[in-house]
Every structure is written in C-alpha cells, then in structure tokens.
Chain A
Amino acid sequence: MAALRDGMMRHAPLISPMTPTGEPYVLWFRDCDKSCLSRVGGKNASLGEMTHAGIRVPPGFAVTTAAYRDFLEQASLGPEIKKIMDRLDREDIEATQQASLTIRQMMAAADILPQIEDAIRSAYQKLCADCRVPDLPVAVRSSATAEDLPGASFAGQQDTTLWVCSAGSVVIRTAVCWSSLFTPRAIAYRNQMGFPHEKVLISVGVQKMANARSAGVMFTLNPTNGDRSKIAIDANWGLGESVVSGEVTPDNYLVDKVTFDIIKRTISPKLVEYVPDPAARRVQFCDVPLERQDIPCLSDEEIVALAQLGKGIEQHYGAPQDIEWAIDRDLPVPENIVVLQSRPETTWSNRAPTPVAKPNANALDYVVASLLTGVRARKDET
C-alpha cells in the first residue's frame, strides 16, 4: 500500500472537464473533504477525509452530482420522470415497479454527455497509470448526499458493482448507479417522506479494489451494549460484501480499545464468500472450501492492527465509527489493511448515555452499595 500512496503523491493535478458553471464532473478522493459533501455524497467525502488523514484508503475518484444533474438535463429526462411520478398511485406496488422499470430503461437508453464520459474515462485511465495496472479492477458505488436526504440508505446508495475492469464498463456502471435512484424501494421511500424526486442528486465513487483475502466491518464501540472501550470486528473470507449483506455469519472479535487485548473471539462456520475471478473479470459468489470454513479468517496480528486503525479513525472524526475494511492478500501486516468506508455509528451515539455513577455519591457510598450487591440481587430474584 506504500506503493499506492507514492502513486498518489506523484499524481499531477488533473484538469477535469467541467460544466459550464465551472464545477468539475470528477473529483479525486484526495481532493475531497467534508465540504464537498453536496457534490460527492457522504461516502466519497469521507474517503477524501481519510485520505487526508493518512489512513490507508484505496485510491479513486468521485463522479460528482453535477455529472448526474447535467446528464438528466441534456437528455431532458427531468420532465419525463416528473410526469411518470406525478401519475403514479403511491399505494400501488405493481405500478411503482413498472414506473421504476420505465425510468431506468429511459436512463439506460439516454446518451451521456461526451464531456462527462471523457471525464470518467480519463480519470479511470489516470488511476490505472497511477497504480501501474492496466485495466485496474475497481468498485463502482453510489454515494448519496445524505444531508439532503435523511434516509439516505434508501436513495440508491446500496448500488455497488465490484471488479469493473475497463473505462467503458466504468461509464456504464456509473449510469447504473444513477438509475439506482429509481429502484422501487427508493421511489416508495421518497414518496413516503414527501421528498421531490427531481431534487435528489447522486454521486458515484470509483475506487481501486483490494485483492481481499478477508474483509468485513468494524464498530469502534461494542454494538451489543454501547461500551466505548471496545472495538467489534465482523469478518469473512473474500470481499466484505458477504458480511455487509448478511449472507454469512461472520467471525466476530471483540478487542479492548485501550490495551488491544482480544477479549472474545467467535469463530463461525463460514460457508460462502465473494472472490474475484480475474479471468472472467468478475466477482464470484462461491462456497468456502471445507478446510477454511472453521478457521479464523484473521490472524491475531491483523485483528490488533485493525483495531488500532479503527481507534485512529475514531480519533480523527471524534466519534464512534462504523468502518468497512479489507485485508489485501498480497501485502504484509499492517500495510495489507485498507479502509473502504467509514461513517459515524448512529445507534448508540444518538442515545443519551446511561450513567454508571450514582447521583451525589462519594467513594464510601459506593463501597456500601458494593457490599449490598448480593442482598440486592437476592431481592431482585424473589
């Protein structure tokens, strides 16, 4: 991964084709930070933040919301979409599905502005050159502008294509991400929230893929009880999609955030994994060979290095994080650990903390309470 960082350092400022108003269609992650949120969405902005903070993030770029906006405009799709939506009976599931299909077909058929396509193609080629890999495999993911849309998870951000290996494919997958704004679920959600469809914008992230031996998610607190002194890691073989989607019961590790002691390990039978098939230029969903099913998919050294990384990311953001990560099979610990995404943990962080201390108690009051613990427990039981 050091090589990757060097690559990024040598990377000359890219003059990206722009909109008439001077907004770029493409922004490199390293040029993004949280101020870019409305242009690149939460996910891409966060990747930019982490790149700046020196956290190992695979390099890549964002196709900005301006590209999506100009695409719609040029193809004159906006009024068409509005018409379909206005006609739609919101309660009618079948009609919603039909509307989704119609809009997505329209979008797929529409031409993409040459300036936009050029911007995406040249950024991808630059990425290949920086990484010194022709036809570099990348992941293409939607990145919603969460500020505009509180329930961002239903706006189409789930759309991800892995192991995309050519400039043409990147352009096509970008358009698919755009149209994911109009999945039946996303339409229904916006209708329910009363959010106008034409106001929704979407950015797309194009990121070098890690050659993941193992991957998963990490919470920088214990998700079962909100304990901030712990880091919880879920991991499976292959790419992290199997963990994110819940298709496997992952290995689970609990690590102390202060001492980095591995406190609990639950090794689960891991039956399936996503692995890249370079020959077929795609990701395969396959059975995990028997001999790897019941063994841990992370070494202790990797678990500790991951937890240290998680602690650093939390310190950078000043709040507990929910992190997607991968272990590259080609590199040694700790350079093999890359972060694919980090977002604020919301479940516990939005709750009022449960105090441990008793109001107005001094040390002696605690001693008395502690001596009476047994008596209280008995009372609770009866």
Chain B
Amino acid sequence: MAGSTDGRFPSPFEVPTPPGCEGWEDLYPYYYLFSPERREFEEGKFWFQDGMHHPEPLYPFDTITSESWWVALGQYNTRVFIVPPALGIDQRVLNGYLYISANAITDEAVVGARVAHFLERAGYYYQHWNELYEKWVKKAEAVIRDLQALQVPDLPEMEDISVVTEGKGITNAYYLLEAYNRVIENMHKIWHYHFEFLNLGYAAYLTYFGFCKKAFPDIPDQTVAKMVSGIDVILFRPDEELKRLARAAVDLGVAGVFKKTIQPDEVMAEMQKSDAGKKWLAELEKSKDPWFYFSTGTGFYHLHRSWIDDMMVPCLSIRGYIEKIEAGQDIARPLSAIQKERDRLAAEYTALLSTEEDKKAFQEQLGLARTVFPYIENHNFYVEHWHHTIFWNKMREFGRLFVKYGFFKEVDDLFYLHRFEVTEALYDLIASWGVGTPARGPKYWPPLVEKRKALFVKLKAWAPPPALGEPPEVVTEPFTIMLWGITTDSIKNWMKPQPKEGEAKELSGFAGSPGVVEGLARVITSVEQLREVQAGEVLVCPITTPSWAPVFPRIKATVTDIGGMMSHAAIVCREYGLPAVIGTGYGTKLIKTGQKLRVDGNSGTVTLLN
C-alpha cells in the first residue's frame, strides 16, 4: 500500500510487474488491460482498487462477476435512467487486481440536459417501486430456476437411438455448447436485474441520509439507519431458519448431538440413528432450499462456498442457539421492539424540526428510503447468494467434464481459464469427440493451469496501491461516494503512510453500531476459521457477509477492514446490539489474535490495549 507524497498516485503504466508475475496479462481479455493505445485517456483518469468487492486478484473465470457489473451498473446510469452527473464505472485489471474509475459528467450543460430524462425515468420507478419490485422478484426467481434446471450433458460414446428415430438432427455436442452459453447468458441476466433498482435505491437512501445530516448535524449514522430498519428483510431469513432448527432439535430431544460434534458429516450420521433425528433431518431439508444457498463470502469469487456446500457454519450456529435456548434465553429477533423503536425515533426527530415544510420533506424522504430499503437488502440474497451458489456449482459440472476428458487435473482448474477460453476448450472437446481424434486440451491446459496457479500465489502476495493516477480535487461522482464510500477525504487518507505492524495504538473507521466494549481479538481472514471464534471475543475480519451472522450471537463486537455505514456487518451488529467499527483499513493486518481491544462503536475507534 504505497502511499503518495506528491498529491498523485502512480500511473498505471509506472507500476512494475511483481517479480515472477510476467505474463499475467494473458489471463485476461485484451479490453480489460491498460494499454498503450489508450494510454493518454487512461492516465487522465483516477482509478482506485475495488477492495470492497474484489480484494483478491481476479481468477480469470471469476471476472465474469466484475465484467457483469461493469456493463450492468453503467448502463442503468448511462442508457436507462440517464443519471444527470454520472455515466458508468470503468474497470481495468492491473497485476491481477481490479481497478475502477467513475465516469463523472462535469459539463453542467450536459448535466442539466439529462435532468429532465432522469425525472421522467427514475420518477417512474420511484412511483411504481413496489409493483415493479414484485415483478423483479418473479423475474429473479425465474432466472434462478432456469439456471437450476440447466443440464450439463456428457458426450456419449454413441448418441441415443432417439436422435435417429425422432429425427432430432442435433447431438450432445450442440447441447453442451448451448448449456455453457445459457449459463453465461444467465449470469449476465441476473446482473442486469441486480442493478435494475440498486442505483436508484441507494440514491434515495443517501438523499434521506443527507437530509438527516443537514437537519440534525451530528446525528449518528446508525440512528439514521435505525429509522428505516426493522423491515422484515429476507437477509435475516437464513439465520431465522437456524434458530428454527435449533428449537426443533431441542423439542425433538436431539440437541445432545450438537454437544458431541459440530462436524456436519458426523451430525448427519448421528441424526440418522434415531427416529427423532430423522424427523430433525426432514426439518433441515425444508430449510435448505433456498435458505442455505447462502454464501460465506461476498459470492463474487468461486471460492466463496455456501452453507449448502459446507454445513460447518450452520452447525456451529445451531449449537450456539441450542446453548442459548437451554440457558433460557430468548433467541427470537426482536422485530416488534425494533419497529417500535424505529417509529419512536422517527416521530421524535420529526417533532424536532422547526417548520412544517421540513417535517413534510423529512417524512417524504424517510418514506421513500423505507420503500427502497427492502430491495437494497434483498437483492443480495437473490443474486450473490442464491443465484451465485448455483452458478459456481454449475460451472463445476463443466469442470468435472473437463477432468473426465483429461483437460484438467482438478474440477476447480476451470476457474483459471477466462470464460472465452472455456469456450475454446469446449470446442476443442466437441471437435475431438465429433471427429474421433485426440483433443489438444489434455496436453495444452494442465501445464498452463499449473503455471497460472504459481503466478496466482505471487499476485496474492503483492500489495496493490490503493489508487492510480491523479485524484480529482473534489469527488463529484455520486456512485463512487454512495457505493464505495470514497470521498475527497478518504483519498487524502490513502496518501498518508500506512501505520506499521506493532506501531499502531488506535485505528479508526465508521461508527457502525453503537456501544463500547473491551475484549480479546480473534482475527479471521477466511470462513474456515469461523469455528475458532470463542464466546465473548471481538471478531476482527476483512469484511463480514450476512452468512456470518451465526457467529454474531457468540461475539462481543466486530471490527472490519472494509465497508461503510450500509455494509452488512454494520446492519447485523445494529440488529444484535453489538458495537461495530467498520472500514478500519488495516485491522486484520495490525491486530493479532489474543490482543486486548477496546471497540468504541460510538466514535468509530479501536484501541489496542496491549
């Protein structure tokens, strides 16, 4: 994280290739790279590393998520809603890391001309939000069902007789290509839906947020958020299912199983031994679809596995809930209390405004924020969790086919190929199948994949600069501010030298959720480590995702590297009443497990006490 001293970050063309990473460019399509042909344009822009969504180097295949939102986010601003001061967010890859750059419109005449279109188009969406959102849910579910139903055919030694007797005229070579193309199209489609409402939703929420900050200058972010919380978002549903299963285990008298083990295989085997256990397994099945299609990461990388793939997190959580139930605690989410408090806050703040116009404006904006909020929360479940869980596994079906035909050694080797390369490999495969001669793939891909794996280890070890190029004097592009929390001030912060390990005494971030506690740190950088978390510890992690919620009943506070006031960690902590400091930048690097911390969720500071 080399800072900058002369008011600018390095040019993308000045950043050296890390030793041993030569040829990294071959992993990505030509249009995704900084290039001499566009140098003047690219050097004229300010780029920052998207650590929020893509903190790790992009696996070639996984660029499908970033490439999907590249188009989807941009087009809704540029071509659909005509957002006055903003086009899309541009993307490039450098040494494997994703850099993004907002296309702000700064010509006021152009901005002005776009306003009328925006009022008409965005206005329509805001006015018809609920009915359009109902339609959206149906559309999203249809895309997910299509994906789930997609068959990945094998290539038979001999085509079925029906091809002849029914005069089909088409073979599995075609169906295999078709299946792959459908999966890719399906991915693009769900990302179009992902951004159908998101930019408008955030804009409305942030407008309400800005009004609150102006009317009540020092109002804490979490209070602003609390006034729209308590709406029954489905993001909490998976956790609710775990509570239900914990209660079922207690009621059926099989809770003891979780005391013996939380290893998923052992739990399932143990449950099979009794009738009560079988009944519990039947309850488990009811919860799985779709609520266990819940990623333990952001869902942006193929490595982010879901509960359905690995039941460790749910089992850990069910055990925690069983302990609470047996200790006589109420584990129900206090929804009505949250709603009551939300209404009290809204009524009291309204009363504190001095004019009727202010009261009316506040009520209207709060109303709009509450209208858009369920979408802001829920789209994640549909797209990144439910859909992507199926998507990555669908790609693994192709991976298995390639392993069978000797193209890859391991199923997940597929993710070291870009999706266009997968198309090439598939063609190689069906051609050899059709012709009856050996494919080149089995000789071509394994050494290449090995090389890329070694390259990836080196790319991961490299620390990307937080930004490239000359920062704008003032950040004007609203989505940079809204979605990434990047402001003129945060860019200035990047320029400061990073504190070194052992030197830092205090870290600061967003005050995500109020309260002050002291406790021992547990630094977690991957979901596999979640089982190490002990009751009463402070969770220190890069970013939390909703599926980590099960660990929240066990911990005292949360500190994350990345995120803003709307991040999931903040939302979940507020719900659980745990202090949270969000977006400290370097928490996982500077804090060690076992270190004593004071987490002040009121001021957004973490103090390292030893």
List A residues at the B interface (Cβ < 8 Å).
222, 225, 227-230, 254, 256-259, 261-264, 353, 355-359, 361-364, 366-375, 377-379, 381
Which residue of the partner chain, among B119, B204, B218, B475, contacts A263 with CB atoms under 8 Å? B218
Measured in the bound complex, the distance between the Cα atoms of B223 and A228 in whole Å is 16
A371 engages B84 (CB within 8 Å): yes
Set of chain B residues within 8 Å of A229, measured between Cβ atoms: 215-216, 219, 349, 352
Which residue of the partner chain, among B122, B219, B358, B367, contacts A364 with CB atoms under 8 Å? B122
A374 engages B476 (CB within 8 Å): yes
Measured in the bound complex, the distance between the Cα atoms of B126 and A362 in whole Å is 12
Q: Is B115 an interface residue (CB 8 A)?
A: yes
- Given A371-B84, A374-B476, A381-B474, are A259 and B361 neighbors across the interface (CB < 8 Å)? no
A364 engages B217 (CB within 8 Å): no
Residue of A nearest to B371 (CB): A363
Q: Mark B345-356, 1 if CB is under 8 A from A, else 0.
A: 100110011110
Measured in the bound complex, the distance between the Cα atoms of B164 and A208 in whole Å is 108
List 6 A-B residue pairs with CB atoms under 8 Å apart, sorted by A's residue number.
Answer: A229-B352, A257-B352, A355-B355, A371-B85, A371-B203, A378-B474
A362 engages B364 (CB within 8 Å): yes
Measured in the bound complex, the distance between the Cα atoms of B602 and A256 in whole Å is 12
Closest 7 CB pairs of A and B: A374-B476, A353-B354, A357-B361, A370-B207, A357-B357, A229-B216, A378-B474
Set of chain A residues within 8 Å of B368, measured between Cβ atoms: 363, 367
- Given A364-B123, A374-B475, are A254 and B355 neighbors across the interface (CB < 8 Å)? no
Given contacts A262-B602, A375-B111, 5 further A-B contacts (CB under 8 A): A256-B218, A259-B220, A355-B358, A357-B358, A375-B106
A374 engages B85 (CB within 8 Å): yes
- Given A368-B118, A370-B207, are A227 and B217 neighbors across the interface (CB < 8 Å)? yes
Set of chain B residues within 8 Å of A358, measured between Cβ atoms: 361
Q: Is B182 an interface residue (CB 8 A)?
A: no
User: Interface size on B (CB < 8 Å)?
Assistant: 54
Measured in the bound complex, the distance between the Cα atoms of B353 and A357 in whole Å is 10
Which residue of the partner chain, among A259, A353, A364, A371, contacts B345 with CB atoms under 8 Å? A259
Which residue of the partner chain, among B217, B360, B602, contacts A225 with CB atoms under 8 Å? B217
A367 engages B476 (CB within 8 Å): no
Set of chain B residues within 8 Å of A228, measured between Cβ atoms: 352, 354
B602 engages A375 (CB within 8 Å): no
- B358-402 interface (Cβ within 8 A of A): 358, 360-362, 364-365, 367-368
Q: Is B514 an interface residue (CB 8 A)?
A: yes
Taking the nearest CB of chain A, how far is it from the CB of B81, in angstroms? 10
Residue of A nearest to B126 (CB): A364
Q: Is B477 an interface residue (CB 8 A)?
A: yes
- B81-122 interface (Cβ within 8 A of A): 83-86, 104, 106, 108, 111, 115, 118-119, 122
Q: Is B260 an interface residue (CB 8 A)?
A: no
Which residue of the partner chain, among A225, A263, A353, A375, contacts B220 with CB atoms under 8 Å? A263
Which residue of the partner chain, among B84, B204, B357, B365, contacts A359 with CB atoms under 8 Å? B357
Q: Is B211 an interface residue (CB 8 A)?
A: yes
Set of chain B residues within 8 Å of A353, measured between Cβ atoms: 354-355
Most chain B Cβ neighbours within 10 Å, of A228, A364, A367, A373: A367
Residue of A nearest to B220 (CB): A261
Measured in the bound complex, the distance between the Cα atoms of B223 and A366 in whole Å is 21
Set of chain A residues within 8 Å of B602, measured between Cβ atoms: 261-263
B349 engages A258 (CB within 8 Å): yes
B223 engages A261 (CB within 8 Å): yes
